[in-house]
Chains A and B, each alone.
Chain A
Amino acid sequence: MWDRAAATAMLLPSVVAIAVFVYGFVGWTGYVSLTRWNDVLPNYAWAGLRTYADLFDTFRFRIDLLNTLRFTLAFLAGCLGVGFTLAVLLDRGLRGEAIFRTIFLAPLAISFIVTGVVWRWLLNPGSAQLGSVGINLLLERAHLGALRTGWYTDPRIGILAVALAALWQLSGYTMALYLAGLRSVPDELREAARVDGAGEWQVYRRILMPLLQPITLSAVIILGHISLKIFDLVVAMTGSGPGFSSDVPAYFMFDTTFRGNHFAQGAAIAEVLLVLVALLTVPYLIYSTRAEAGR
């Protein structure tokens, strides 16, 4: 009796807070997206799904979805590739491992705003008066001047420049996930394969990579949902970019809602984002909490 009251008193405030501030607010945003509130003052006149239909016809939103796709593919491929490679190298038990790990993970401690400010200067295209700057200057000095580009000022690159900064910041995370995974594989398994005549490459290809698949899945889901939500880095580094080439839905939402007062449109963008994130994370959430309960 007392225990039940105590448990309720401990858990209920948080449950109520999440119920209201997550689920209630998501519902309210959904309601706003179905109204005609596109001015400073609230207007709850019913508009139905019209805002959504218009949204998918909007040039900027279509580019945003495409940018999100380009960003996600580049960012994920980069993080998985770099993370896996570094983890495999560190797993060999080289001297100095701890120092390398500390260096690779340091960017994770920094805010996206700081990262954006620094990378905006690193990927600065330079100008006729200034000459080359940042990475372009390094390329020039290394006699690789032909590789200089306009980075985020070049509409063909746009969001991919932001993906490079995001890769810098978060690839250490995949390295850490893979390294933990590799360390959990018993040495006997590798030894057995070697006794059977498998080469180093085959040990990775046949034994370790299949065992690491669950880790790849977690990494794809965690990084994928980060890339759907990417916002701070775009704000600090590029903004929308030329021809919206570095614009993303989260930035469009903030821009149209709080600068343009198009609340219904902003709410609709937010709900589209939420659905995309939910499709990615909910199955994973249910699976991992169930799997744990069964343990």
Chain B
Amino acid sequence: MRRDRAGTRAAAYAVLAAASVFYLLPLYVLAVTSMKSFAEVSLARMWALPSGLYFSSFAQAWHGNVAHGFRGLSANFYNSVKLTVPATAISAALGSMNGYVLAKWRFRGSEVVFPAILFGMFIPYQSILIPLVQTLQRLGLYGTLPGLIFVHVVYGIPITTLIFRNYYAQVPDELIEAGTVDGAGLWGIYQRIIVPLSPPALVVAAIWQFTSIWNDFLFGVTVTSQPDVQPITVALNNLAGSFIVEWNVQMGGALLAALPTLVVYVALGRYFMRGLMAGSLKG
């Protein structure tokens, strides 16, 4: 490690501190506004600290306000949970199986199949929305949570396949050969050797999928039109676009929508980073 002169180091800290202020400001506003009482919420005092911890903004964002005629986000929060958990699990399972076959059992055409699958994570989803709505309507899945889960599973396949394939590519071929010598077939090796080795990749894929499905808006707003089925991002956008909802309640709702993924990020940041790096195809 290089020795910096004291002056250089102070300058570096100054820039980093200024950058930290920039990144934290919106989170600060989000947090303090949600904590303020209704009496002290004014835009002119936007940057002031709350006089105490009031959770009334959260409570309104959560329960809604019948007198003001808006719905709370509680049902939508649960919708997002009911949607994100199974969609994450299923797409991770599919990604694991695909990644294993693509990494360890090269077949004719596998070098075409892999990038062809990956392209699915780059496409603008606008280019599939019209047939998607038509198809879901025909299958009776339009406007339902199972329909939205199905959509997230399908379009989650590329990234989970990528994460698992890159991870399995590092598993020594000798392990596979040893399994073959013991008489295990492709499925047996998967069950007995590969699956037990998978937790690190599984954590990365699960965090990635949890974050992107929880944060999704486009699929949610396209597939679900009924307020009681919508995920939290869609409901939050409706709440924030409504003129009857005070802005501290909007901020309370935004914080509610942000908390689950922020908690996961703070607790498991290392794995979050790995998913991020996988997304740039650099393994």
Contact = CB atoms under 8 A, between A and B. Distances in A.
Interface string B235-263: 01100100000010011011001100110
B182 interface: no
Contact of A106 (B23, B119, B254): B23
A228 B233 CA distance: 21
Contact of A104 (B19, B94, B282): B19
Interface residues of A, number: 99
A117 B22 CA distance: 17
B22 A29 contact: no
Contacts of B185: 2-3, 6
Given A3-B187, A106-B265, A121-B251, 13 more contacts: A2-B186, A26-B123, A82-B19, A104-B20, A111-B215, A117-B237, A130-B44, A133-B44, A168-B26, A219-B280, A273-B127, A278-B119, A289-B111
B105 A7 contact: yes
Interface stretch (A15-23, A46-54, A143-151, A204-212): A15-23
A61 interface: no
- Interface-central residue, B12, B111, B240, by most chain A CB under 10 Å: B240
B130 A266 contact: yes
Contact of B118 (A173, A232, A285): A285
Interface stretch (A69-77, A85-93, A152-160): A85-93
Given A6-B186, A22-B119, A105-B273, A293 B16 contact: no
A121 B249 CA distance: 13
18 contacts: A2-B186, A7-B107, A10-B100, A17-B154, A21-B132, A25-B127, A25-B131, A25-B135, A93-B2, A104-B23, A105-B273, A111-B257, A133-B44, A172-B23, A266-B130, A270-B130, A285-B115, A289-B111
A163 to B, nearest CB: 14
Interface in A248-286: 250, 253-254, 257-258, 263, 266-267, 269-271, 273-274, 277-278, 281-282, 284-286
Contact of B127 (A29, A90, A137, A218): A29
B97 A130 contact: no
Nearest to B151: A21
B222 to A, nearest CB: 7
A171 to B, nearest CB: 9
Interface string A214-234: 000011001001001101100
Contacts, number: 274
Contacts of A219: 280
Contacts of B266: 102, 106
A121 B217 contact: no
Contacts of B27: 106
Main secondary structure of the interface of A (DSSP, over half): helix
Interface of A: 2-3, 6-7, 10-11, 13-15, 17-18, 21-26, 28-29, 32, 82, 85-86, 89-90, 92-94, 100, 102-122, 124, 126, 130-131, 133-134, 137-138, 168, 172-173, 176-177, 180, 218-219, 222, 225, 228-229, 231-232, 235-236, 250, 253-254, 257-258, 263, 266-267, 269-271, 273-274, 277-278, 281-282, 284-286, 288-290, 292-293
B178 interface: no
B89 interface: no
A229 B282 CA distance: 22
Task: Give me the 4 closest cross-chain CB pairs, A-B, nearest first.
Answer: A111-B215, A109-B265, A25-B128, A10-B97
A142 to B, nearest CB: 11
Contact of A117 (B157, B214, B254): B254
Interface in B23-60: 23-27, 29-30, 43-44, 46-47
Contacts of B197: none
B25 A122 contact: yes
B16 to A, nearest CB: 5
Contact of A92 (B4, B29, B44, B273): B4
Nearest to B14: A89
Interface in B113-154: 113-120, 122-132, 135, 154
Nearest to A269: B126
Interface string B75-113: 000000000000000000010011011100101000101
Given A7-B105, A277-B123, A285-B118, A117 B43 contact: no
A89 B9 CA distance: 9
A29 B130 contact: yes
B43 A133 contact: yes
A109 B272 contact: yes
Contact of A105 (B129, B237, B269): B269
A110 to B, nearest CB: 5
A111 B261 contact: yes
Interface in B155-182: 155, 157-158, 161
A229 B264 contact: no
Contacts of B214: 111
Contacts of B157: 14, 17-18
A273 to B, nearest CB: 4
